[in-house]
Amino acid sequence: MASSDPPAVAVVDATTPGNVGTIARAMKNFGFEDLLLVDPPELDPDGEAYGFAGHARDDILPNATELSFDELVDEHHTIGCTAVTNEDDQSHVRFPYTTPSELAERLPAVDASTVLVFGRERVGLTNEELSRMDEICSIPASAEYPVLNLGQAATITLYELRTLTLEDADTQLPDRERVRAPEPLLERLYDQWGDLLVELNHPEEKREKTMRMIRRIYGRADPTEGEINTFLGLLRRATERPDQQVSERPDQRVSEQPNQQASKKPNQPPSESRDT
């Protein structure tokens, strides 16, 4: 931003302490620090505001500044957040508007003390309050039910604006840059695939096309060295066809099945028949 400080967050006339705590927590999540409160409810350190605030109970919530609405609009570049916008420019109370993602791209050029302003739980900011805002911000949502609760709206907006406060290195996510496996290792993989096609007696006239498809799949995937080594091991094992190799363990014995038809002993006399 042209201004060195990220936007502050203001909550106007909230009735539920828990919502103030939820917003403070979202601010902590996405790197915002300055919380401004207009006509806030009582924020008991042992109450739900501090209970909902998470780690923001240590700094953002106790350091919040209470001020009047007039002071808010007179001393800051204000961005009123609302779910309901006018459909055209016949009324400029809620129009034109900017989405949070668009706001994230434009705010760096604003050289002023900027504040995001959220309204009441039930009705948000009034038309009179919105008419005094410098600009309007609205979250795209279903036309059938675009209204979010206060905590949700603030969290989504601050998430979209996190690029104003956090660099990639500032988040909990590890470096996502992938290291592609070296080409010689990939060529070994393709050779192993070729050996497997031969072992499987894949039709010779189809092998060239099959290998081209295999090469294209791996080419788009940008596999890592570890992933290719794993595939090499699997393909090598498959090429050896362990299912066709007879491995006899020491504890295995081949037992002969007895002849089902017992032969007569050579010295056994013939059975005698009785005269009837």
pLDDT tens per residue across span 158-207: 999 998 887 766 676 666 666 889 999 999 999 999 999 999 999 999 99
Residue 112 has pLDDT above 90, yes or no: no
Using CA atoms, how far residue 266 sits from 160, 261, 269, 270, 273, in Å, is 99, 15, 8, 10, 19
CA 3 to chain centre: 31
Query: What per-residue confidence (pLDDT) applies to 269?
Result: 53
Q: Is 138 exposed, middle or buried (0-12, 13-18, 19+ CB in 10 A)?
A: buried
Query: What per-residue confidence (pLDDT) applies to 168?
Result: 65
Mean pLDDT of the chain: 85
Q: How confident is the model at residue 214 (pLDDT cuts 50, 70, 90)?
A: very high
Q: Cα angle vertex 165, ends 163, 167, to 5°?
A: 65
Query: What per-residue confidence (pLDDT) applies to 144?
Result: 86
Residue from 85, 79, 147, 89 nearest 118 by CA: 79
> Tokens for 103?
């706001």
Query: What per-residue confidence (pLDDT) applies to 179?
Result: 80
> Tokens for 150?
């206060």
Report the share of the chain in percent with pLDDT over 90: 63
Domains in the chain and their CATH numbers?
8-170 (3.40.1280.10), 183-242 (no CATH)
Residues 99-124 as b/e (b if ≥16 CB within 10 A, e otherwise) read ebeebbeebeebeeebbbbbbbeeeb
> Tokens for 119?
């309204």
Q: pTM of this prediction?
A: 0.67
Query: What per-residue confidence (pLDDT) applies to 227?
Result: 93
Residue from 162, 169, 152, 167 nearest 118 by CA: 152
What is the secondary structure of 105-149 as a DSSP string? HHGGG--S-EEEEE-BTTTBS-HHHHTTSSEEE-----TT--PPP
Q: Average pLDDT of 104-111?
A: 86
Query: What per-residue confidence (pLDDT) applies to 96?
Result: 76
Give tens-digit pLDDT for 234-263: 999 999 877 776 554 455 544 445 554 544
Query: What per-residue confidence (pLDDT) applies to 2?
Result: 39
Residue 77 has pLDDT above 80, yes or no: yes
